[in-house]
Structure 1
């Protein structure tokens, strides 16, 4: 499954600076983050294990 939207705001991940990565805690869920949410430090939560970042 390819991640297409930011887990925090739901915006598409087509802008420069967006990232897709595995959850740093469980490594099982793929997380997408847009540049805006990354820069503002908006929190996200892994739906698989409950890990909260940034």
Structure 2
């Protein structure tokens, strides 16, 4: 029972973090759009995932 409660708590925390992550990605996309509008191709905001 205690394990189930802990598991439910962690799943709720994960869901909350995923929501925050999604919100932050939206903000980042908005900022990226604004920065590219201002600086054009003079900046690179893409991540290098090599």
Normalized against structure 1, the TM-score is what?
0.24
Instruction: Tell me: higher relative CO, structure 1 or 2? Use CA pairs within 8 A at least 6 residues apart.
Output: 1
Normalized against structure 2, the TM-score is what?
0.25
More strand by share: 1
